Structure 1
């Protein structure tokens, strides 16, 4: 299969997943407690005029399938509705908060990669030794620690006791914002480090036992060159772990942003659920669906670049 066919198939699969999940996102309106009209009214008085206006505006007398098609058509045009709580367009609210969340996820992913991948390599190269056991233990601890609990611990130690980092807020300017996001990103990265250690170490250990590594060593190739060959063939599992890291961080930002009082998508989701702001919850759920599907699509494309057998539909075993 050529590049065009491979990309077309992957994009089509991603679009189908997003379309299917969008149905569930739309049905959140019907799953909310109480009547649909009362849900959309929020705290406003439920007079006959306001209920009639809500029914007319959202076409609630139409069949559900037609309501979904109209809602999804508005989404494609960038109209995500209006917040019940604030009266602001939902798209504006997401646009204000999305950059901070993406910056936090990107920063956390970078920290996790800088720590997790080298530690995984170190554990594989020192397999069975004390260093390897320490690396594996660190990975287990990282995977077992909830991000919000790690965030609280980092706040107490590095912000309150030592005063090295700010307690909350986003800062002013790129450098100050990076400083403010360091502790939240570290809280997100700790669990991701454990995942990268586990996948990276296991993949490299397996590759170092392959016949081509034994043959390369027998030919007298240098250790770094042999390690480079093994690392390249270990990239598919590591890329899988990286995809899991990013998607996990997108979900983990909810509690971390609340812990550090950051005005990102996570804190917006908590506020919207608390005040039953269904249009915002729908938009956030759909946005997270698109982001996670996009990450999975990029991982699939990365597979095909690292190992062409994926693109050609052949077995990688």
Structure 2
């Protein structure tokens, strides 16, 4: 048998290192398609001239292009038979990705826990994205619920990794040369500096995007994400294709431009949950909460810790959970991340 049905829960071993196929060279085409799929317009990823004025050699590719590309490499080995992608932690962008870079990925299994129904289990992996120079450009932990091939297969020893609540400000990596001391707020689109944001402040990003089946399918193919629930309408009992969680992340991040236009570069992913399934036809809105602030050693550069929430609602009311502690049904994404902004 030459075809590969993908891994099931019982196929994973604690400590196993998985080298993922296939390396991919990314370029200006990915940027153009990304900006066609999402209303993304942060200046440092849009303009070589703006990026040079901020101390970079040219505009790096959008941070989430790097994330989606690396994530997509892992799907055939980690989540081809997934029920759901459950969460993220300890994510760090360590180097910009430039047009012409070649990315590959590897993952280490760091946790296993079979579910009580005996039909599936949760797998924790730490994934690293590497460029052609063998430099790590991105690292993150995610955990995913994966089906079992054989419900009678013995359960592995339960190992749940201890993960940091968030990436400490001292562990944030500012891209080499980044300098916001001569930052052009007019070209960036808003006047708000790092100092204008207050911890606890909430921002309704106002705008909305309705998810189309065709755009989601294009995005999923672009990132070479082969998870069955995204492609195959027969993979779910309800006959609906599940919208890739990264698609929702990018839509929400792009919508956040209105109010956070100067949150230029993502440098860490502290935590994340795809709270409820998303389907074509859903209209997505977003709001953010400022969780923390930190200074950096780079000229004119500060860091903001933000909560980004995507909702399926007419207008965000800043509510996350019900009285039972569970996410409200219209909450699709709850993402905690660090960005760099001009001081």
Q: Write 1 or 2 for the structure with the bigger share of helix.
A: 1
Structure number with the higher strand fraction is 2
TM-score (norm 1): 0.24
Q: Which has the higher contact order (CA 8 A, sep 6+)?
A: 1
Which has the greater radius of gyration? Answer: 1
